[in-house]
Amino acid sequence: MKYMMTDNPKDQDIGEILDNLRKYNLSRIELNVVIPLAIFVNDENGNTMGGISAETHGNWLKISLLWIDEKIRGQRIGSKLLKDAEEEAIKRGCKYSFVDTFSFQAKNFYIKSGYQEVFTLEEYPLTSKRHYFVKQLTVNTVEP
């Protein structure tokens, strides 16, 4: 065996590790279909102004990224993206959602959106914190 350490790994090498780990994991669980989910917000010129990237896996929605350009923050666009992703996840059979964020990012946003903090990494990476949240998804009934 030959071991190589690098501070500049190739995307292809990391991708190979990720692909093989996913293949192994998915072969050992009952619901092995992971479906990507993404919603983008574009301005009138087609420039990306925000978006959410997630995936559904069994009865969980896992949110990876949620970003809104500073120029359009405060217009509830992030709330709409999150709500739309959660509604699509419910349609796909999800009951729960998971997300993490840094203390300088969107901790309060997720709390206001009904997420509950389940874990915090202190001093991550040095002076910040990394917060992990979950939410039980429910079907909203609309009254006439």
What CATH number has the domain bearing residue 116? 3.40.630.30
In a domain, 1, yes or no: no
In a domain, 142, yes or no: no
In this structure, the number of other CB atoms found within 10 A of the CB of residue 64 comes to 14
* Burial class of residue 77 in the structure, from the number of CB atoms within 10 Å of its CB (0-12 exposed, 13-18 middle, 19+ buried): middle
Amino acid code (one letter) for 10: K
Task: Give residue 71's domain range.
Answer: 11-136
* Total domains in the fold of the chain: 1
Cβ within 8 Å of residue 41, ≥6 positions away: 48, 49, 50, 51, 68, 72, 77, 81
In a domain, 132, yes or no: yes
C-alpha span between 92 and 5 (Å, rounded) = 41
Has residue 32 got a pLDDT over 80? no
In a domain, 2, yes or no: no
- Length, in residues, of the chain: 144
In a domain, 4, yes or no: no
Task: Answer yes or no: are the C-beta atoms of 63 and 37 closer than 8 Å.
Answer: no
In a domain, 67, yes or no: yes
pTM of the model: 0.82
Task: Answer yes or no: are the C-beta atoms of 51 and 40 closer than 8 Å.
Answer: yes
Rounded mean pLDDT of the chain? 92
Has residue 140 got a pLDDT over 90? no
Averaged over 65-88, what is the pLDDT?
A: 97
Averaged over 54-82, what is the pLDDT?
A: 96
Averaged over 116-139, what is the pLDDT?
A: 93
